[in-house]
Amino acid sequence: MGFTALSAAWLALLLIPLVIFYFLKLRRPRLQIPSLVLWQQVLADQRVNSPFQKFKRNLLLFLQLLLLALIVLAAMQPFLRREAARTEKLPILIDTSASMAARDTPGGPTRLDLAKTRARERIDTLLPGQELCLIAFSDSARALTGFTSDTRQLRTALDTLTVSDVPSDIEDGLRMAQALGRTANFGTVVLLSDGNFPARANFELSFAIDYQRLPAAGSNFGITAFNARRSVEGAWDVFVQVEGSASATPSSAKLELLRDGQPASTQSISLSPGAAPRMVFAVPGDRASQLEARLVIDGPDALAADDIAYLDLPAARPLVVNVPDSMQPWRHALAAIGGLVFAKKDADLLISDNPADLDTAAPTRCFTGLVPPALSDLLKIEPEPAEVIDWRRDANLLQHVELGDSIIMDRAVSAVGVEEKSYADRGFEVIAHGRRGPLILSQRDRASDTTWLLFNIDRSTLPYRLAFPILVSNLVQSALDRAGLAAATATKTGFAAPRVGQGRASLLSPAETSLAAVEQIQFNDRLSVTAAAAPARTDRPLWWPLALCAFALLLIEWWLFQTPRATA
């Protein structure tokens, strides 16, 4: 127990005039009696005149003294000291990510509602001199208020807080708190969250965190992936993945697919925690389509935002390839791949060994036997045999491509002192190395993805190797991806579209759907913060219960004063 305004104890001196005025101005009912003789003797008795005897069972005076004592106590602003540390400035970080909309039961409170309740409790128990700052964070953070003791402003800001259907990024919230720390001195930050964020935070802690993890929500299943790949027949194979939370109860559900608002297909699925069933739908690619996937669960579902997802599909047209007739090996390899059209204009893929085509625009380009003009000072090609030393097997172009058994008769030679970093500085990535210089370069920019084969394949054994059709197939796949003809992926919610459905954005976050809760947050400096088992109880101001008691006493005293007395 402590007092915020101990100086108000001087008001207790008012007890003295109260007692004096009470006995001076006591309104006594008159009662005529035969004689005062006996009463005079009674009042003259020493026992009656002993100290404090006049106060004994003097209910009205007792009530007034008690009333004044309560008012003085309330003015001293007492508070009940709890285990939570008292700080003058306290930022409160409130998680507003998608998982905070999860509920225990249908119609029950969301995690955000619980967080608001705890924040409101902090506001209600705000002591004089204390200031709070509310910060909401989801994938980004924003300060709802500055440091203020204005409870109305804090409550209003809290009421306007809504969930954003985006994954959580605790680091942004902590960085905002750190930025506030430059103007205000505080040692602790309260974190109200369901714990659904990465367990490791790339952040240097400069303050303590009171991590108050909210109770776990109920069972949840949701759509975590919604994409499409073009099938060989010119149609789209649409994939929908459904996942659930670890504590989810097994259930059955229906997955409905709507094309341009019309039901296209429905699949029944059996859901269980840990399983991630992947549904496949075939959608014709004759025209661009707007797809909508809906998950209808036969049972409780904690989170509604992940039960719907949107996907925009372009029309499935063939890939346009521009390759000179002189490059017969390429044309043979491309002919084996279906769904291609050879044309000189508006090509999605340009394959050339002609320096005149260097300025030809195409989303995906592949030049052979040419040196990028930007690297002309760094390397040169010599008509000498070259040997493939190493290559990036994880590069899109070289996946499953074996170059080690190919003989190459052109040799790219780097200038003296030129290293791989020199190419990287000019925007080129070496994906195949020769003994004296690079053999294959990859260049990516906004306009196009360009692959530079620094040797002429006609002067190599590559066309006769199995690696060549695979390389061509990888190149075509890259061109299809670049042109948006191979796959389509749903747009996820984010800063521009924070709500599901806004701009046809979808949540599609396995982390948010899982409703996983982090018990311990690990920070860079090997510090970790563990969730509190129960919310720390804050100091509780006691002035209002005292004021309430004083008011009740006032009513009792008024009633007693108004009660008629026996009169003569």
Partner 1 sequence: MSTARPQLTPLLANRDLDRLARLRIGAARRFTNRSRGEHLAAKGGTSTEFCDYRDYSPGDDTRFIDWNIFSRLHRPYLKQFHLEEELHVAVLLDVSSSMQFGEKFERARQLAAVFGVLGLRAGERVSVHLVGADAPHRRLRPATGRSAMMPLFHFLEKVEAGGQQPIERGIETFLKNHTGRGVAVILSDFLSGGDLKRAFSLLFGSGLEPLALQILSPAELDPDVSGDLRLVDSETSAALDISSAAALLDLYHEYREAHQQQLAQWCSQRSGRFQTVNSATSLEHIAFDQLRRTGWII
Interface with partner 1, residue 39, by CB under 8 A: yes
Interface with partner 1, residue 274, by CB under 8 A: no
Sign of torsion, CA 178 184 190 192? negative
**352/451 Cα distance (integer angstroms):** 11
**498/493 Cα distance (integer angstroms):** 5
CB of 55 to partner 1, least distance (A): 9
Between 56 and 152, CB nearer to partner 1? 56
Which residue among 182, 421, 526, 565 contacts partner 1 (CB under 8 A)? 565
Pairing of strands 308-313, 289-297: antiparallel
Interface with partner 1, residue 25, by CB under 8 A: no
Between 40 and 156, CB nearer to partner 1? 40
Q: Where does this chain touch partner 1 (CB under 8 A) — which range of 46-54, 267-275, 389-397, 434-442? A: 46-54
Is residue 439 classed as helix, strand or coil in its secondary structure? Answer: strand
**225/266 Cα distance (integer angstroms):** 17
Distances (CA, A) of 524 to 56, 203, 212, 516: 69, 6, 21, 22
Structure token digits, residue 182? 């430059």
Interface with partner 1, residue 24, by CB under 8 A: no
Interface with partner 1, residue 26, by CB under 8 A: yes
Interface with partner 1, residue 54, by CB under 8 A: yes
CB of 133 to partner 1, least distance (A): 56
Between 416 and 568, CB nearer to partner 1? 568
CB of 33 to partner 1, least distance (A): 5
CB of 68 to partner 1, least distance (A): 19
Which residue among 13, 20, 36, 296 contacts partner 1 (CB under 8 A)? 36
CB of 553 to partner 1, least distance (A): 18
Q: Where does this chain touch partner 1 (CB under 8 A) — which range of 47-55, 294-302, 362-370, 479-487? A: 47-55
Provide the β-strand partners of residue 489: 227
Interface with partner 1, residue 20, by CB under 8 A: no
Between 29 and 383, CB nearer to partner 1? 29
Structure token digits, residue 81? 């000291």
Buried b vs exposed e over 87-96: b needs ≥16 C-beta within 10 Å? bebbbbbbbb
CB of 62 to partner 1, least distance (A): 10
Which residue among 1, 25, 57, 559 contacts partner 1 (CB under 8 A)? 57
Between 63 and 282, CB nearer to partner 1? 63
Angle subtended at Cα 392 by Cα 387 and Cα 395, rounded to the nearest 5 degrees? 135
Q: Which residue has the tokens 């802690």?
A: 205
Do 327 and 370 meet the contact criterion of CB atoms below 8 Å apart?
Answer: no
Between 44 and 416, CB nearer to partner 1? 44
**478/321 Cα distance (integer angstroms):** 12
DSSP string computed for 231-283: -TTS-EEEEEEEEE-TTPPPEEEEEEEEETTEEEEEEEEEE-TT---EEEEEE
**400/145 Cα distance (integer angstroms):** 56
Q: Where does this chain touch partner 1 (CB under 8 A) — which range of 53-61, 266-274, 336-344, 465-473? A: 53-61
Four-CA torsion 47, 49, 54, 56, nearest 10 degrees:
-20
Site track for partner 1 across 506-545, x = CB under 8 A: ----------------------------------------
Between 57 and 345, CB nearer to partner 1? 57
Do 82 and 538 meet the contact criterion of CB atoms below 8 Å apart?
Answer: yes
Which residue among 8, 60, 69, 470 contacts partner 1 (CB under 8 A)? 60
Number of residues that bind partner 1 (CB under 8 A): 29
Which residue among 25, 28, 446, 526 contacts partner 1 (CB under 8 A)? 28
Between 526 and 565, CB nearer to partner 1? 565
Between 39 and 342, CB nearer to partner 1? 39
Interface with partner 1, residue 31, by CB under 8 A: yes
Which residue among 6, 48, 80, 466 contacts partner 1 (CB under 8 A)? 48
Between 36 and 80, CB nearer to partner 1? 36
Between 39 and 495, CB nearer to partner 1? 39
CB of 554 to partner 1, least distance (A): 19
Residues 312-351, interacting with partner 1 (CB under 8 A): none
Between 23 and 551, CB nearer to partner 1? 23
Q: Where does this chain touch partner 1 (CB under 8 A) — which range of 38-46, 371-379, 414-422, 504-512? A: 38-46
Structure token digits, residue 198? 């990465």
CB of 43 to partner 1, least distance (A): 6
Is residue 520 classed as helix, strand or coil in its secondary structure? Answer: strand
Distances (CA, A) of 18 to 77, 319, 478: 22, 98, 92
CB of 26 to partner 1, least distance (A): 6
Four-CA torsion 55, 60, 66, 70, nearest 10 degrees:
-160
Interface with partner 1, residue 19, by CB under 8 A: no
Tell me phi and psi for residue 242, to 5 degrees.
-120, 130
Q: Helical H runs in 411-542?
A: 420-425, 467-483, 510-514
Interface with partner 1, residue 47, by CB under 8 A: yes
Structure token digits, residue 132? 């709070």
Do 296 and 309 meet the contact criterion of CB atoms below 8 Å apart?
Answer: no
Residues of this chain that bind partner 1 (CB under 8 A) = 26, 28-43, 45, 47-48, 54, 56-60, 565-566, 568
